[in-house]
Structure 1
Amino acid sequence: MRANITFLTSLFVASAVFGAEEQPPVRELSTDRPDQTESAHTVPKGWFQVESNLISFSRTRQAGERSDDTSFCDFIFKYGITHNTDLQIGWAPRLLHRSEDADSVLIGKNNGSGDLYLRMKTGLVGNDEGPYALALLPWAKAPTATKGLGNDCWEYGLTINQELDIGGGWELGSSIFLSMAVTDHQTRYFEPAFTIAIGRDLTEKIGFYVETYQGYLTDEGRYWQSSLDGGLSYLVTSNLKFDAGVNWYYNAQEAINPFVGVSFRF
């Protein structure tokens, strides 16, 4: 019931923004979603921006087990503190987890909220215009998740985001993730990863992208995790955008992750 209330609240807020569109700010709406590649642009000074999965579902298969994870209305809330810097808070208010063994016998079930993410993005090059943009995004994760839905440890890292206009309406994006993560056994380790995404607008309202993610992770040992992603976005107004996509993880933990989301600013 709480998830449904949160879901309807998000739709109401988004609809309100659509109904009361103001004059567009200096730069166009730029979001870190729906792809895993982060934007190289910041929120304009004095503006608030919300980016949210209305619903995200992930099914993972590993070592004969299946895990289903559902998130309702997880979000990143941003505020532009200067022309080229914004502060961000990310949180998942409603998470559902369920795991089964190879015989479909329930071995784990949990629900609650997720960890809190604190982030700050600074645009160094091309934040307003130009064919190339570069931004740095340091972040930290505070262990606020419900027991069983997190690792109860602080984590932190730096993301380097780049975008390049390659002509013909096509745009190339890339993020390099440099993270200090923690395993389930409370062991801290360096976790590098990167993404490459390419996309373009099909019309004035509709855009699409394809992307790959590559991460050097650890579990019982070090391994490469890969994904192939794709999705669509629909720009309702200059301040409101809906999106939908799917991330397909392979090469290690097999997982499929479809989602539907919304971004708006005011």
Structure 2
Amino acid sequence: MIQNKTIIFILIFFTSIVTFSQEIITDRPDQTESTVTVGKQNFQIESGIIFQNTNDNSVNSFFGPSTLLRYGISDGVELRFVSQYESTEIGLNGANIDYSGFNDLELGVKIQVLKKENSNTEIAFLSHIIIPTGKENLTTNNLGVVNKLAVSHVLIKNVSVGYNIGYDNIERKSSITYSVALGIRLSNTVGFYIEPYGAWGESNTFESNLDTGFTYLVNNNFQLDVSYGVGLNNDMKYLSAGFSWIIPKFLAQNKL
């Protein structure tokens, strides 16, 4: 009996990959969070790897897996969990310092504030709590918060813009963040975006960056992505690749 239930679950689990009617909408690879939640009882995995270097290549970091888990408790509210593994090497006058381990965990929620069938505008709000669980050199040692207001507009067919304005308090330092992503659907499966983003910190510090990337829709439930970013007024470069996968009615399937 247990074996039969297991077989049924596996069949439904993999069948769901091709039966979900709506296309997956993700919060990666850009910095702008989408205005869409995953939907009631849907479970979404967004994960990838990042190669980043700063300060004239003296600081080289690898992040991976960098994972966001999303679960819809209703059609307009989702729970969120963020986990990231980091390996960094710092070159200091011929001596290298390296460390690796998991960064602080993040727990959060996204709430869709505005979604109307006859409107081209959608609005959502998300908030994360940063919990100091990381290893030495990889933790803020204090609770932190990340808050963002997300707005999106459909400009014309296959062209949309999304932007975020946010407030972060990390390591007891506050900053105002921004991002503006222009997304273009090049075909039924390929998407492109370009995006300036940055932050205003304490003491009037300002950081400005630019990134761009492509997405490839394998099917309605699974998407691949690649992106590249560079600092405009700071020495930073990164290259990232990843995937996103939505599992419809995740807990309902597991009740079998």
Structure 2: distance between partners of 1:122 and 1:223: 30
Q: Cα distance 1:137–1:129, how it changes in 2: closer, same or farther (>3 A)? A: farther
Q: 1:153, CA displacement in angstroms?
A: 1.4
CA distance in 1, matches of 2:216, 2:193: 12
| Alignment TM-score, normalising by the size of structure 1 | 0.83
With over 3 angstroms needed to count, the CA separation of the structure-2 counterparts of 1:249 and 1:37, relative to structure 1, is same
Partner of 1:201: 185
Q: Which residue of 2 aligns with 1:97?
A: 88
CA offsets 1:64-106 (integer angstroms, 9 cap, x no match): x7211101111011100011000010001x31010013x5x23
Paired AA for residue 250 in structure 1: L
RMSD: 2.0
Q: Displacement, 1:167?
A: 0.7
Q: 1:95 to 1:19 in 2, by over 3 A?
A: farther
**Are the equivalent residues in 1 in contact too, given 2:18–2:219 (CA < 8 A)?**
no
Residue among 210, 220, 243 paired with 1:262: 243
Matching of residues 98-247 of structure 1 within 5 Å: 98-101=89-92, 103=93, 105-126=94-115, 130-182=119-171, 188-218=172-202, 221-247=203-229
**Mapped pair 1:59 → 2:48:** no
Alpha carbons of structure 1 residues 34 and 128: separation in structure 2 relative to 1, 3 Å:
farther
Q: In the TM superposition, what is the alpha-carbon distance from 1:207 to its structure 2 partner?
A: 0.3
Aligned amino acid, residue 207 of structure 1: G
- Say whether residues 1:85 and 2:51 are aligned partners: no
Residue aligning to 1:10: none
Shift of 1:164: 0.4
1:209, CA displacement in angstroms?
A: 0.2
Shift of 1:19: 7.2
Q: Which residue of 1 aligns with 2:33?
A: 38
Report the counterpart of residue 70 of structure 1 in structure 2: 62
Gapped regions of structure 2 (runs ≥ 5): 1-12, 248-256
8 Å contact from structure 2 (residues 140, 170) kept in 1:
no
| Partners of 2:162 and 2:14 in 1: CA distance | 28
Relative contact order (alpha carbons < 8 A, sep ≥ 6): 1 or 2 greater? 2
Aligned length: 236
Equivalent pairs: percent with the same residue? 25
Relative distance call for 1:162 and 1:30 in structure 2 (3 A) is same
Following superposition, the deviation at residue 108 of structure 1 comes to 1.4
Output the CA distance in 1 between the equivalents of 2:58 and 2:15: 43
Q: Which runs of 5+ in 1 are unaligned?
A: 1-16, 183-187
2: CA distance, partners of 1:164 / 1:222: 31
Contact 1:200 1:207 in 2 (8 A): yes
Q: Distance in 1 between matches of 2:117 and 2:98?
A: 46
Runs of 4+ in 1 over 2 A off after TM superposition: 17-20, 127-130
How far apart in 1 are the matches of 2:205 and 2:232? 12
Kept in 2: contact 1:41–1:127 (CA 8 A): no
Query: 2: distance between equivalents of 1:265 and 1:50?
Result: 6
Alpha-carbon separation, structure 2, partners of 1:248 and 1:134: 28
| Aligned amino acid, residue 151 of structure 1 | T
Cα distance between partner residues in 1 of 2:118 and 2:44: 20
- CA shift in 2, pair 1:228/1:167, >3 Å: same
Aligned match of 2:19: 23
Q: Structure 2 length as normaliser, TM-score?
A: 0.86
